[in-house]
Structures are given as C-alpha cells and as structure tokens.
Structure 1
Amino acid sequence: MIVCSCTGITDRDIHAAVDWMRASDPLTIITPGKVYRALGKSADCGGCMKTFLSTLRGNPNTEVPSQLRGLRRAAQQED
C-alpha cells in the first residue's frame, strides 16, 4: 500500500527500514525522521503522517528496547 504519494513510500518500505534499523542497532530509538532518512527521502506535505505513524507503530520492532525503558524515571529519582 502506498503510504506517502509525494515520496512514493509504501508500507513495505517502512517495515523494511524499521527491520533494517533494528537489526543494525538493537538499541536505537526508531523515529519517523530516521525512517525517512533510511529511505533517502524527506517528509513533504505531511498529509501522510497519520498513516505513516500507524504503519510505523504496527511494526513490533519500533518498541523501545527493554534496556532503555524507565531511564527517565530512574534519572528523576536520582535528583
């Protein structure tokens, strides 16, 4: 399915980029900007962002790695 008609990004492109990023760096935080950069593209009009984010969130590899969860809470407790 075409997610972004301005740049020609499909749901498969998004999933492939997410899977590649997670495989290359298991601790990375995956953001829409990183996905665009991995695909060699940039956001244009933003009309696709709702579908783009929904597709991105639908990939289980976008979850924050367990080692990084709760770091903000831990830092606040130290203060």
Structure 2
Amino acid sequence: MTAPNESSRSDEVQIVACPDGPLLVRGEVPIVTTDGQPVPRRRKTVALCRCGASTIKPYCDGTHKLINFKTEPVLPDGV
C-alpha cells in the first residue's frame, strides 16, 4: 500500500513531456481553449498534442509518429 504523502497520490497533478510525443496530463486539471472555454475531458490522464498536426487537437492522435516529430532532450535542472 502506498503512503498518502508519496508522489503516486491519485489527486496529484502531473505533466510529463514524452520524448518526440505528446504532453501527458495526469490528474484533475481543467483544460481550456485560448478564450477560456472548457475542453471536454473524459479521462483522468490525457495526451495533448505538441506537434500541431493532430486531427483531434488539443488531444494527440499519434500523428507525431507519422510526421517524425522530434523534440529537444529535456535536461534536469542545473545541468
């Protein structure tokens, strides 16, 4: 069993930048359009498009693989 103060708490919000892929958003965080309108969300974890080519923006549809989207490596703080 996981202790309540560990990072795997179910109410924790986490955003993960997948290498050459989407942003994974975990937890209860609202997603809104540029004018502040809420975007429908059916899951606690969603993948947001970073390549700009998804047909279901703001969500990822896997197009980044087809277009060979590449991201710069993310370095830890202080490196």
TM-score (ref. length: structure 2): 0.24
More strand by share: 2
Q: Whose relative contact order is higher, 1 or 2, with alpha carbons under 8 Å and at least 6 apart? A: 1
Give the TM-score, by structure 1 length.
0.24
More helix by percentage? 1
